[in-house]
Amino acid sequence: MKKILLSAAAFAVVAVSAVAVAPTTSEAIPAFARQTGAACLSCHFQSFPTLSSFGRAFKQGGFTDVGEQALIEDDDLSLPSVMNATMVLRPQFVSTQNPAGVVDPYTKSTTVKTAAITADQVILFGGRLGTNSGAFIEYDGTFANYQNINSWDFNGFKAGFSIFNTGFGETAGMEVGSTFGQHGGLMGGKALSASNQISGNAGNTGGVALFAANDLVTASVSFITLGAALDGAVNNGWKLAPSVRVFANPEVAGWEVGIGAGFTSGTTGNASTAAALGLAAGTSVKMKKWMIDLQAQGEVGNTQIGVYADYANAAEAGKNEFNPFNPAGFGAGALKGYSFRANVKPLHNMIFQAGYGQLKDNNSKTTQYQIGAEYELYQNFVIALVYNNSKAKTIATGLSATTKTTTLDIEALL
C-alpha cells in the first residue's frame, strides 16, 4: 500500500507541475465536437462522459445538432459533408496484487503487471443521419455498441425511439444520467456502480426504446433481450422484456440534481434463445432488476464537484429460470448492492475521485473502494491513475480475499 501511495503522490506532483502548459479542459468525443463546433464542456460536466444539460439535450435530440460543419441537403436528405469519426488510442499499464490462497494459508500473494498497447482498439462513429436521426457506433471488428436515436419536437418536449445493441446496460436506449457511465475510464464509475456491475452480468443487451423528454424529465420504455439473441441467426420469436426508466434533473440552489429509477421484469426469447445461451432445455430467460440513482453536479467557489450514488437489486432466479442480471441461480438469493463516489475538480485540468461500493447475495459479499486522479493534457488526451481495493468474502466460511489493482490509463482520442 505504501508503494501505491508514493506512486500516486509522484503522479500528482508531475501532473500539477504541468498545469501551466495544459491549455484546455475536459475530454469529449471528437466526432461530435467536429459536428457541433461546441466546446467540450458544453456537453460534459468536469470531464467525459458525465453529461451537462446541453449534453443531455444533444442526446435527446438524436445527435443531430450541427454547428458550422457543412451539410449536404436535398429532398429528405440532410447529412454532414464528411463522416465524423474518432480513433481511440488507449495504452494501459496495470499492476494487480492477487490475494493469498484462502484454502492454503501458506500460498503467498502474487503481483501481475501487464502493459496493453492498446487496451482499446476501436473506432467511434457518431452524429447526424438526417434532420431527426443520429447514431453512435463503437466498432472493434464487430459492432460492439450501437445506438440509432430518432427524435422529434412536440411543443416543448422531444419524443422518439432508439434502436440499440450495447454493453452500456438495459437503459442505454435513452440514458442521460451520469451515475453509471458509458465509459471505462475514471469518470464513468463503471467499476463502482452497483447498477453497472449487475447489468454487466448480462453482457450486451439490445432492443427498442420509446422515449419522451424535456428539460426536467427523461422517460423511456424499452423492450430488450440479450445480445446473444440479436445476431439474426437465433429464432427468438421477437419476445422482448419490458424495461422502464425515469430520470428527473431539476436545478436546486444552482446545482443540477438528478434523481432516477429503473425497473426491468419480463421473459425474453424462447427455447432457441435458451439454447444460444447454453442453458438446459426448458429453462426460461427472465430479466429481473430494479435500481435507483442520485447525482448532484455544481460548484463551490471555483471548484467543480460531482456526487453520484446508486442502489440496484436483481431478483433470484426461480427453478427452471435464468436471470442474466443474477446468474448465480436458484438458492443464491437476490444480488443487490450500492455505490457512492465523489469527483472534485479544483484546477481546470485536474480531477480527483474517491468512491466506495458493495455487492452481495446469500453466498458472497464484495466491498471495494477506489481513489484516483485524472490529468487532462488536452481536451482529447487524458492520463488517469486509479487504485482499486476489492475484498471478496465467502459468507459460509467467513474467509475473504483482497485484490489490489493500480491502473495507469492513457487515453487519446483522434
Q: Is 3 exposed, middle or buried (0-12, 13-18, 19+ CB in 10 A)?
A: exposed
Give pLDDT, residue 16: 37
Structural contact between residues 392 and 366, judged by C-beta atoms closer than 8 angstroms: yes
Question: What's residue 362's pLDDT?
Answer: 95
Beta bridge partners of 314: 335
> Could you tell me the mean pLDDT of each successive run of 10 residues in the chain, 414 residues long?
42 37 45 80 75 86 90 92 90 90 63 90 91 93 88 94 93 93 70 93 94 96 89 81 97 94 95 87 94 96 94 95 93 96 93 96 96 89 94 92 94 88
DSSP state of 20: G
Closest CA to 295 of 182, 373, 189: 189
Q: In the prediction, which pLDDT does 365 show?
A: 97
Report the predicted TM-score, pTM, of the whole model to 2 decimal places. 0.88
Residue count (the chain): 414
Q: What is the pLDDT of residue 55?
A: 85
How far apart are the C-alpha atoms of 178 and 188, rounded to whole Å? 7
Question: Reduced to 3 states, what is the DSSP secondary structure of residue 240?
Answer: coil
What pLDDT shows up at residue 34?
85
End-to-end CA distance of the chain: 35
- The pLDDT assigned to 158 comes to 96
Among 141, 159, 165, which Cα is nearest to 210's?
159
What pLDDT score was predicted for residue 39?
A: 66
Q: Going by DSSP bridges, is the β-strand pair 157-166/143-154 parallel, antiparallel, or unpaired?
A: antiparallel
Report the distance separating Cα 287 and Cα 240, nearest Å: 10
> What residue type is 95 in one-letter code?
S
- Quote the pLDDT of residue 184: 66
Query: In sequence order, what are the residues at sequence separation of 6 or more whose Cβ sits closer than 8 angstroms to the Cβ of residue 34?
Result: 69, 82, 84
Instruction: Give the pLDDT confidence score for residue 103 in this predicted structure.
Output: 47
Class of domain 2-413 (CATH, top level):
mainly beta
